[in-house]
Chains A and B, each alone.
Chain A
Amino acid sequence: MDADKQYIPGLDMRRMRLAHAYVPFQHYSEHYRPEQALMRGTLFPELWMPYRPGYRGYY
C-alpha cells in the first residue's frame, strides 16, 4: 500500500507552470468495504493517511 501511495496518476509534469499549486487527480481504483470506509473516514486506501504520533500510535 505504501508503494501505491507514491504513485501519482494524472499529474502531467509538462503542463505544470511556475507559481501554481498542484494536487494530482485521484483515479478510481480500489475501495474499502462501506463499513470500513465509514470508520476510517475515507473510501479509498490511497487517501488513508492516519496520524502516528511518535510511533506510539493508536493504530
Chain B
Amino acid sequence: MWEYKKFLQYPTNVRRKDPDLASLIVTQFGGPDGELAASLRYLSQMYTMPIPEGKATLNSIGTEELAHFEIVGTIVYKLVEGVPADVLEETRFAPHYAQWGRANFPADAFGNPFTAAYFASHEDPIASITEDLAAEQKARAVYEYLLDLTDDPAIIDTLSFLRQREVVHFQRFGEVLDLLYDYEDNEGNC
C-alpha cells in the first residue's frame, strides 16, 4: 500500500506563465523517459526481483518517481494555469488545449500519449536493472535538454533537483547490480 503526503517532495515556485515550455516539459510527465514510465517500470519489475535489496530499491525508487510525476505535473499546470485561450492559441500548447484544455495529460513533447511500451519488465533481473541504469541516464539527459530550454530560475531550480535524483538512483541501481552478480554466483544461476 502507499501513504500519501499532501505536499510536494520538492517545492515548485513557478510564477511566470510559459505555455510553450509547458508543452516541452510535459515529456517528463508522460514521455518515453518521463517520471510515469520510470515509476511503472520499477514497480512492475519488483515482483520477480530475486534479492530483497533489489525489491526494496525498485519499490522505493518507483514510489519516489510517482512523487516526481506529481512535481512535473505541478510545473506543467502552473505554466498554463489561468492563461486565456486566445493567448494559448499563439503557443505550442494550442494543440494540447484543443484536445484537453489545460488539464494535464501524460504525453510526450510531440503530443504522443503515454504508453507502457516505453519500458520493459523482465524476469531476468540483470536485464531489468541494466535497463533501469539506462533509464536513469536518459531521464538525466532529458532534464539537461529541458534546462537548456529555459532561463526561468524557478523552473531551473526544480528541474535541477529532479536531475540530481536521477544521478542518485543510478548509483543505487548500480549497487543492486553488483549484489545480483553475487547472488547469481552463489545460486549457480550465472
Q: Which residues of A contact B (CB under 8 A)?
A: 20-26, 38-42, 44, 47-51, 53, 58
Enumerate chain A residues within 8 angstroms of B162, measured Cβ to Cβ.
41
Whether the Cβ atoms of B160 and A50 lie closer than 8 Å is yes
Q: What 0/1 pattern do residues 91 to 123 of B give for CB contact below 8 A with A?
A: 000000000000000000000000000000000
Interface residues of B (CB under 8 A from A): 10, 130, 133, 143-144, 147-148, 153, 156-157, 160-165, 167-168, 170-171, 173-175, 177-178, 181
List of B residues within 8 angstroms of A49 by Cβ: 164, 167
B130 touches A41 (CB 8 A): no
Q: A42-B164, A42-B167 are in contact. Are A51 and B144 (CB under 8 A)?
A: yes
Contacts of A24 in B (CB 8 A): 174
Known: A53-B148, A58-B153. A23 touches B175 (CB 8 A): yes
Q: A21-B133, A53-B148, A58-B160 are in contact. Are A41 and B178 (CB under 8 A)?
A: no
